[in-house]
Every structure is written in C-alpha cells, then in structure tokens.
C-alpha cells in the first residue's frame, strides 16, 4: 500500500510547490484577496494552482489505477 501512496504524495507536493512558486514570482491579474500591505492572492495564482491541482488529480488517478 505504501508503494502506491509515496508517488501520489510526491505529485501533490510538486503541484503545491509549483503553485506557490508562481505566487512568489508573478503578479498576474487583479488582486482577489488582500492578505496585507503589499501581499495578496492574484487571479494568476489561482489559475496556476487550479491547473497544477487538476494535473495532480489526473496523475493520481493514473497512478492508483496502474497499481
């Protein structure tokens, strides 16, 4: 069972890291949620996280069906 969960955890960790990296290095689109002075969540951050998590979901399904 563990041999199936480790790759899934790696996929989700990579998707999260990608989304956070995009949020760190870009300021695409308007601010959706202001977190503080000079900090906030942009539309581009949400798009990047949505795309990364959608791909992670597809990869998770493939990994779990293969095993």
The domain total for the chain is: 1
Distance in angstroms between the alpha carbons of the first and the last residue of the chain:
9
Q: Any residues with CB less than 8 A from the CB of 7 and at least 6 apart, and which?
A: 63
> Are residues 22 and 45 in contact, defined by beta-carbon separation less than 8 angstroms?
yes
Task: Output the pTM of the full model.
Answer: 0.83
| Tokens matching residue 63 | 């990994």
Task: Domain of residue 6: give its range.
Answer: 2-66
Q: What is the pLDDT of residues 16-64, one digit of tens each?
A: 999 999 888 888 889 899 988 888 899 999 999 999 999 999 999 999 9
């Amino acid at each position: 069972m563990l041999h199936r969960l480790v790759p899934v955890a790696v996929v989700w960790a990579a998707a999260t890291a990608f989304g956070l990296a995009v949020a760190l290095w870009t300021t695409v689109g308007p601010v959706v949620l202001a977190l503080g002075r000079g900090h906030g969540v942009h539309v581009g951050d949400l798009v990047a996280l949505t795309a990364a998590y959608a791909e992670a979901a597809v990869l998770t399904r493939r990994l779990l069906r293969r095993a």
